[in-house]
Amino acid sequence: MLTHAQIWTAIDRLAARAKLSPSGLARRAGLDPTTFNKSKRVTPDGRARWPSTESVAKSLAATGVTLDQFVALISDTVRPAAQAVRLIGFAEAGAGGYFDDGGFPAGEAWDEIAFPAIDDKDAYALEVSGDSMHPAYRDGTIIIVSPAAPVRRGDRIVVKTRTGEVIAKELKRKTAKTLEVKSLNPEHPERTFAAEDVLWIARIIWASQ
């Protein structure tokens, strides 16, 4: 018997296969962009809401996927297709030309790696060099950073300061005036920045181990 979660997972995988977000899949299918949003998967009173047959059919037609292929996406053994994610060394990240003022990757000097599709077209990868972030991240660790992901206390983040410094830390506290961060290496002290000295913050969503 099919479950609500399996059908929605298949839709998410269908979007990933086409290198789209769920909202991007809905737009390509000619549907309202919010059709496949997480908030649309339950009713206001908390009951599971199923996608309509029409929305699924239009999504299959828009991506060129057959019904049999869609059924295969329901299987827990199927993984989303990999996509190209931009990559630079962490030590290079502070140099000019790699990011715009909002912290989004820019320019053509990036390398690329394959990574399972994630719901952020602006996500990028940084490769750690040296042991300054040990034991959290070793030399050669790849971290995936999402500029679009919400940031909360306790998250591991990448911060760029007005002086051009790019650092990976744990968010301890953020107010309108200051940013307090905890070092990933216990030998390094905690730091506090004035809000005006921080250009941007982005959340680390995955790291190789």
Give the domains, in start order, of the chain with CATH numbers.
4-74 (1.10.260), 87-207 (2.10.109.10)
- Reported as a single tens digit per residue, the pLDDT across 58-103 is 999 999 988 888 888 877 544 555 678 889 999 889 887 899 888 9
What was the pLDDT predicted at 95? 83
CB atoms within 10 A of CB 167: 20
Two structure tokens written together for 150? 């919400």
The pTM score is 0.60
| E strands in the chain | 82-89, 111-116, 124-127, 142-146, 156-161, 166-174, 178-183, 191-194, 198-207
What sign results for the dihedral spanned by CA atoms 66, 68, 73, 74?
A: positive
The mean per-residue pLDDT over the stretch 131-152 comes to 90
What spatial distance separates the first Cα and last Cα of the chain, rounded to whole Å?
37
Mean pLDDT of 105-119: 80
Q: What is the pLDDT of residues 176-187, one digit of tens each?
A: 999 999 999 999
